[in-house]
């Protein structure tokens, strides 16, 4: 009997819930009025159950969406890195092309300026020992190209580099003007000085990469301001270096007795540390210098 009553109560409870849901469904279809108590109960239950389901599902959905976004971001980042590498490579190629164009333009300008007075043989620097950096270098032209010993060698802008020493068929050794061992000096003059004093330029033993200028005869009481900054050029008094090749610029004047100018320090005009191309030159119409 008690079991029957219990089952009956359960059926009554379920029936009541069903009736409440039917009533709520019918009444919710009507708009513009306040919900009744049964309706509010049903709505609260639905909202609670929906919240229990929505929050975990939302978090799971957000997690997988985040994974997808991270994957897309990684792919975009990898693509940007590849494009940046291509851009940097292209920029390096452009920089090299601009530098090459500048070197060729400088060489062409010197060639045009001296076309009627000098015969130029273009060459590339192919060897340079660190232990002899300021003494000599090797170029890729030789007797097969018309190169002979004691020809002058200049930078692309025409500034003096040195002279040819030993020559093979397709290469040659060049003694630099900054050499302090083999170099026998360059006959020079100070172009802008009023008296244009003659001098001999050799490699400086005191400072590597610089030149020492010794005047032929002392210059009496000449202010340093009249010499510092002046350009030193070849005098043309030797049969090796044609006249007018730029050697460098005076940076310091050294005085002897009675305030007389005795010597000076010269900074070479040629960029000795960055030589890639040079000209071997001789005066047009002349034979072996």
Q: How confident is the model at residue 77 (pLDDT cuts 50, 70, 90)?
A: confident
Q: How confident is the model at residue 4 (pLDDT cuts 50, 70, 90)?
A: very low
The rounded mean pLDDT for the chain is 77
Q: Which segment, 62-71, 137-146, 275-284, is predicted with the most confidence on average? A: 137-146
| Amino acid 181: pLDDT | 76
| Amino acid 160: pLDDT | 94
Whole-structure pTM value = 0.62
Query: What number of other Cβ atoms are within 10 A of residue 89's Cβ?
Result: 10
Distance CA 218, CA 214 (A): 9
Taken in order 79, 80, 81, 86, is the CA torsion positive or negative?
Answer: positive
3-class secondary structure, 286: coil
Q: Nearest-CA neighbor of 134 among 173, 180, 185?
A: 180
3-class secondary structure, 108: helix
3-class secondary structure, 204: coil
Task: Give the count of alpha carbons within 13 A of 162, CB side only.
Answer: 30
| Amino acid 287: pLDDT | 44
What mean pLDDT is predicted for residues 27-46? 60
| Amino acid 194: pLDDT | 59
pLDDT tens digits, residue range 178-229? 988 766 789 998 876 656 678 899 988 777 789 998 888 666 566 666 788 8
CB 173 within 8 Å of CB 143: no
pLDDT tens digits, residue range 127-184? 998 888 888 999 999 999 999 999 999 998 889 999 999 999 999 999 999 988 766 7
Q: Nearest-CA neighbor of 221 among 196, 265, 182, 257?
A: 257
Q: Is the pLDDT of residue 267 over 90?
A: yes
Q: Is the pLDDT of residue 18 over 90?
A: no
What stretches of 171-287 adopt beta strand conformation (E)?
172-176, 186-190, 198-203, 211-219, 231-234, 246-255, 261-268, 277-283
User: Which CATH number does the domain 119-289 belong to among 2.40.10.340, 3.40.220.10, 3.40.50.360, 3.30.365.10?
Assistant: 2.40.10.340
Question: Domain ranges in the chain?
Answer: 1-113, 119-289
Task: Give the count of alpha carbons within 13 A of 216, CB side only.
Answer: 15
**43: which residues sit within 8 A by CB, 6+ positions away?**
24, 35
CA dist 97 → 44, 133, 157 (Å): 76, 26, 18
Q: How confident is the model at residue 289 (pLDDT cuts 50, 70, 90)?
A: very low
Distance CA 132, CA 135 (A): 5
Q: Is the pLDDT of residue 241 over 60?
A: yes
């Amino acid at each position: 009997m008690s079991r029957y009553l219990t089952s009956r109560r359960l059926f009554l409870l379920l029936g009541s819930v069903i009736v409440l849901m039917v009533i709520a469904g019918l009444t919710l279809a009507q708009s513009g009025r306040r919900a009744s108590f049964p309706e509010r109960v049903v709505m609260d239950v639905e909202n609670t159950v929906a919240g229990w389901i929505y929050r975990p599902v939302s978090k799971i959905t957000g997690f997988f969406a985040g994974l997808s976004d991270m994957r897309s971001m990684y792919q975009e980042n990898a693509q940007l890195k590849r494009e940046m590498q291509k851009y940097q490579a292209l920029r390096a190629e452009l920089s090299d092309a601009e530098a090459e164009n500048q070197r060729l333009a400088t060489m062409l300008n010197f060639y045009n300026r001296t076309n009627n007075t000098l015969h130029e043989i273009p060459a590339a620097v192919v060897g340079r020992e660190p232990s002899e950096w300021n003494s000599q270098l090797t170029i890729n032209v030789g007797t097969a190209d018309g190169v002979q010993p004691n020809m002058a060698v200049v930078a692309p802008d025409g500034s003096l580099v040195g002279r040819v020493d030993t020559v093979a068929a397709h290469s040659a050794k060049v003694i630099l003007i900054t050499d302090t061992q083999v170099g026998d000096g360059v006959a020079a003059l100070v172009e802008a000085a009023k008296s244009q004093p003659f001098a001999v330029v050799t490699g400086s033993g005191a400072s590597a990469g610089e030149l020492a200028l010794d005047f032929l005869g002392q210059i009496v009481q000449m202010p340093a301001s009249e010499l510092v900054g002046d350009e030193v050029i070849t005098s043309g008094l030797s049969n090796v270096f044609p006249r007018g090749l730029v050697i460098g610029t005076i940076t310091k004047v050294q005085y002897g007795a009675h305030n007389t100018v005795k010597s000076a320090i010269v900074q070479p005009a040629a960029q000795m540390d960055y030589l890639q191309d040079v000209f071997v030159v001789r005066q047009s119409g002349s034979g072996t210098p």
